[in-house]
Chain A
C-alpha cells in the first residue's frame, strides 16, 4: 500500500472538507491529524499546521472514531484501555473522552471528545546512516535499542532497519503487538518490512517473542515499544538465546545512564550492543549512537 492509498483510505472516513484538504497535501508530508469536538481539525505537516473543516460535535467525533476503526471499536476494548488503537495502514489513533474506571483499572472509554491520528511513515532510507553500525565484523546483526520521545520516529527507524536487514538475507521475526510495524491486513504487510520477514500480528510481546524464537528460527527479532518488566525479561531471554533483538523504547537520554525505569534495567544488564538516541526536535534524526558499554560511536 502506497502512502497515497493509505491517505485516501483515511480520508474516506473523515468529513469531506478535511478529506479534501488532506488529499491536496504533498505525499508523505502529513505527520498528524488532530480532531477535537468544537474545534477545527488541525493537520500537522512537515511545513507546519493547517486548520480545516467544520467544528465537529462530540457525537460526530465518536462517529469518526468508529468509522476510522472500520466500525470495530467495540472489539478493541483492550487497545482502547491503553489510550489508542492502530488503524489500517499502521496509523495510530489516540483518543480522549470520559474514562470508565473499575477499581484501579480502565474499563472503557466513552464520549470520545478528541482524536490524534499519527501517520505511519514508510520512509525508505530512514535507517541508512545507522546500518553500518548494526552489524559486527562478521556481518552478524547486533541487538539494538532505539530510544526517543513520542513522535521522534522510532517505529519508522525500526521498520526501515529491519527491512534493510531482511533484504540482506537475514531472517527477521517481527512481533507486532499493535500492528504498527508491518500494518498487517488480511495476511499481507501494508508497510515494507522486507522479503525475509515473518510477522506475528496482534500478539503481546512476551508471548510473541518466545513464540517466534521457538517456531521461526529467526536471526533477528524485532518488536516495538517495550513497556513492562515482562517485555524486558522476554527480550533478555531472546538475547541470551543468541538471537539479536531490535526494539524501541520511550526515553529522553541514554547517557548518563538513567537510574530508574526500564531503560536503567537494560543498561545495567548491558543487554544491547547498540543504543540509538533520536533527536527530540527533528523527526527521524539520530542524535547519538552508543555501543554496549555506552561509549559514543561515530555515524558515517
Chain B
C-alpha cells in the first residue's frame, strides 16, 4: 500500500516538476512579448512625441500589466525622485526591486544596454538603441517560442517518466 502511494507521489512530483519548467518557459515567453510591445511603443514615441524620459516610460506602459511594466514605471518614479541619477542606474535599481520570474539572460542584458543608451544622444540615436534592443528581444522570443513548444512538452513527459520509474522502483 505504502509502495503504491509512494509511486503515485513520485509520478505526481515528476509531473509537477515538468509542468513547473513549462510554466517558466511560458512566463518568459509572456515577459519577452510584453517587453516587445512596450519597446515598440517607446520607439514610436521617441520619434513622434516630445516627452521627457519619465513620461516616455510611463506612457509606454499604459494598459500594460505585469512585472516588466512595473519595472519601467518604477524606473520613471526613481528618476523623478532623483533627477541626477543616470537612467541606466535607475533601471538597475528598479530591476533589483522587481525581479521578473522567467527573465532570461538575453533579455536582461538587452534591456540593461538599452537603458544605458536611452539616456544620452540624439533622438535618432535613442531610437536606434530601442530598435537594436527590439531585434535582440525578437531573437529571444523566437528561441523561447521554439523551446516552449517542444521543450515544454518534453519536460512534462520527462518528469512523468522519471516519476513512473521512481514509482516502479519503490513498488
Interface residues of A (CB under 8 A from B): 12-13, 15, 60, 63-64, 66-72, 74-77, 108
Contact = CB atoms under 8 A, between A and B. Distances in A.
Nearest to B50: A75
Contact of A71 (B49, B119, B122): B119
Interface of B: 49-55, 79, 83-84, 86-87, 119, 121-123, 126
B123 A13 contact: no
Contact of B84 (A67, A75, A76, A77): A67
A74 B126 contact: yes
A68 B52 CA distance: 11
A138 B54 CA distance: 51
Contacts of B122: 74, 77, 108
A245 to B, nearest CB: 28
22 contacts: A12-B83, A13-B83, A13-B84, A60-B84, A63-B84, A64-B84, A66-B119, A67-B83, A68-B83, A70-B54, A70-B55, A71-B87, A71-B119, A72-B50, A72-B53, A74-B122, A74-B123, A75-B49, A75-B50, A75-B52, A75-B123, A77-B123
Contacts of B52: 69-72, 75
Nearest to B76: A71
Contacts of B86: 63
A77 B124 CA distance: 11
Nearest to B121: A74
Contacts of A15: 84
B83 A76 contact: no
Contacts of A60: 84
